[in-house]
Structure 1
Amino acid sequence: MKINDLATLGRFILSPECKSVVILTGAGISVASGIPDFRSPGGMYETLRPELITATEKQRRLMEINPTSVVSTEMFFQTAFPYLEVRRPFILGVRDKIWKPTIAHYFARLLHDNTGKLTRVYTQNIDGLTNAVGLPDDKIVSVHGTISKVACENCGQGMDFDSFCNEVETKIKDIYNPENGPRESQPIRCSSCGKATVKPKTVLFGSSLPADFFELSAQDLPAADLLMVVGTSLVVGPANSLVYSVPQSTIRVVINNEPVGEELGIEYGPEAERDYFAQGNCDDVFLDLINELGWNVDDIIDDLPEYSQTLMRMKGKNQS
């Protein structure tokens, strides 16, 4: 079936031809929650202030040249302070649940509840919002790990998340609002090996992805009838390999503000046979798709962030 619009996509999802749906998500799905995309204006890479970070001059110069080094394996094992200082607001924000899942996050649960056709969500996000919508844990692969689980990067010893957050709050300086924390950062040491290498279980640049990404993607992709690519630039591998690892018969839908993945084989324009581009903000597109599917979302509106609630009321959809 050729997908020409959201109405056609909705009919395909509900049809017997569609039995397995795989979803790949990126930072764009969480923008409506208030979490900036790292690579977009206002994101971490643009706003990084190496001169404020506890590091040597050589390390600061490296961060200026390559902002991703602040979350790299090499930098972390030299000093954990850059990672922890940059991530401090994010870590404490996740603890305090200041961000809520959006309509786009909830789509996966609605798909699972209403059709049983969701095979897996592969999320590149570390914010944990996909886990907060009520999906079974085995339906989610956190490709780059998650902020809300903590362990020692050196020996693997786990640590309670709330206890870790207390350590972050009292030992790691706030480079964005210095009055909020200690004047100088102090090491957070592992209770097992004693090294200052305790951090959230996010995948550092230069480290291997979790084994379940490779095991489950090898199992899921050959049987996928629909791959939904949502809010991702598709520039980070190997997560972006999902788009060319599905069979030729798999329909691929890109939901994003701009075209992505052309170098990976995704085709745009009227000649595209298997690929469909749903351009726009993730929440706008998914709300329209949900309405094409006829699914009611009244029961989740109070759990959504302000942008999503406003969008639903503005469009006047799904009101009983």
Structure 2
Amino acid sequence: MAAATERAAAALQTSQRVAVLLGAGISVGSGIPDFRSPGGMYDTLRPDLLTATPAQRALMARDPTAVVSWTIFRENQLPYLELRRPFILGINEGRWKPSLAHYFLQELQDRGKLHRCYSQNIDGLELMTGLDRSRVVTCHGSLGAISCEFCGKPADRDWFTSALRSSIRDIYGTDDSAPKTSTPISCPACGRPGLKPSTVLYGRSLPGDFFEAMEADFPSTIDLVIVVGTSLTVSPANQIPCLAARDTPRIVVNMEPVGEDLGLDFASKRDIFLGGACDDSFANLLRELGWSSTFASKPAGERRQQHQQHQQHQQNAEQEVAIEALLVKIKDQARSKELGLGARRVLLSDMLDSLRHLEHEIDADQWLYEEQPLLN
């Protein structure tokens, strides 16, 4: 393993345009189970607990992926929503945070090496690290947006989450407030029961930006491919490591070797396998690269805290700009001679209310008193 880590570090040191393919395994360190491993979603699926017909249950028993397929969803929305209920609610509540492995992607970006992140995940954790959204392709959609599978119209996420909580039963037995039976959630736009997170069902097409990015990146642009936490069994995303040029190194970070049926050969000089938990593999890689002083010596929680502080700083800066603009507008309105004194007083009062809603430290009433001469 040490030799493999050394080879992976050497490949990273010389690369400048890295493409990363993410699977569910990277989020295991965040507390989200993957799909295909023992104990994962498909391994533990209990079709008998889902609101479905006998034929639909038999199909899911034969092929667990059917629970998230267009074949079943177009006839029955409930199995998908019952299965995903705690996941959807948890994502909306911010229950899970990025792991060390997720923040490794940010480190690549900070060092100018990350060209593209292809994420098969729908949890959005990679985006919470501060990755440039233009570099991230969500191959299978996202839980962060809600739309109707029939008419395509979007729906408000908070409204949908509330409807999910009150309409869909809890098959896991962890929510006593959940209803005893599930009822469909109708789309406000078309009235059909097609609302769900904007994730790609089996049997449906991937988003166009996935294919556009692949065409732009391969074979010549990318000089290193890193595959993280995926079984490489779901097409067409599993073709990404195969599209790279013949001399492009490929690193696989996973619990077990994958992709050998696709042509990956870990006995060759080109392909490198780092086995074990994703967080452990990336911690070892960071130390080997000599990046520990800026990353690996800090716990993932501290790294997350830094990112949250950075986000808060940005939000504060944006708020300050909005406040300054509002103050200018208030003064302009107060000075306006086109309006009568009464109208100017009303406008000034309304704008100061807006200022208070921004939760700014300014004492709006004191400011109004000090600027009272403007109204004379």
| TM-score after normalising by structure 1 | 0.89
| Counterpart secondary structure, 2:20 | strand
1:12 corresponds in structure 2 to: 11
Partners in 1 of 2:91 and 2:303 — Cα distance?
16
Residue 119 of structure 1: how far off its partner (Å): 0.7
Partners in 2 of 1:41 and 1:19 — Cα distance?
36
1:289 corresponds in structure 2 to: 285
Relative to structure 2, which stretch is displaced further, 54-63 or 223-232? 54-63
Identity score, percent: 48
2:133 corresponds in structure 1 to: 137
| Counterpart secondary structure, 1:87 | helix
Relative to structure 2, which stretch is displaced further, 85-94 or 95-104? 95-104
Q: How does 1:14-53 map to 2 (within 5 A)?
A: 14-15=13-14, 18-53=15-50
Partners in 1 of 2:238 and 2:177 — Cα distance?
38
Confirm whether residue 219 of structure 1 aligns to residue 207 of structure 2. Answer: no
> Higher helix share goes to which structure?
2
Unpaired runs of 5+ in structure 2? 305-376
Partners in 2 of 1:36 and 1:13 — Cα distance?
28
Partners in 1 of 2:277 and 2:197 — Cα distance?
29
Deviations 1:158-198 (A, max 9, x none): 11222211110011111111634011111211111111100
2:68 corresponds in structure 1 to: 71
Residue 300 of structure 1: how far off its partner (Å): 6.3
| Counterpart secondary structure, 1:227 | strand
1:316 corresponds in structure 2 to: none
Q: Could you tell me which amino acid in structure 2 is paired with residue 108 of structure 1?
A: L
CA contact (8 A) 1:102 1:304 kept: no
Q: Considering only CA atoms, is the larger Rg found in Structure 1 or Structure 2?
A: 2
Pick the aligned partner of 2:236 from 229, 233, 238: 238
| TM-score after normalising by structure 2 | 0.76
Distance 1:212 1:108, change over 3 A: same
Partners in 2 of 1:174 and 1:304 — Cα distance?
34
- Relative contact order (C-alpha < 8 Å, sep 6+): which is higher? 1
Residue 150 of structure 1: how far off its partner (Å): 0.7
Give the RMSD, CA atoms, in angstroms. Answer: 1.7
Residue 218 of structure 1: how far off its partner (Å): 1.1
CA contact (8 A) 1:103 1:283 kept: yes
Residue 304 of structure 1: how far off its partner (Å): 6.8
CA contact (8 A) 2:127 2:133 kept: yes
Which stretches of structure 1, 4 residues or more, deviate above 4 A after TM superposition?
none
Count of residue correspondences: 298
Relative to structure 2, which stretch is displaced further, 46-55 or 168-177? 46-55
| Counterpart secondary structure, 2:170 | coil
Distance 1:47 1:9, change over 3 A: closer
Confirm whether residue 208 of structure 1 aligns to residue 197 of structure 2. Answer: no
Distance 1:71 1:252, change over 3 A: same
Partners in 1 of 2:270 and 2:163 — Cα distance?
50
Q: Could you tell me which amino acid in structure 2 is paired with residue 120 of structure 1?
A: R
Deviations 1:216-272 (A, max 9, x none): 011112211100011111111100101111100211111112111111110022xx0
Pick the aligned partner of 2:276 from 273, 280, 288: 280
CA contact (8 A) 2:99 2:279 kept: yes
Deviations 1:40-69 (A, max 9, x none): 122111221222211112211221122111
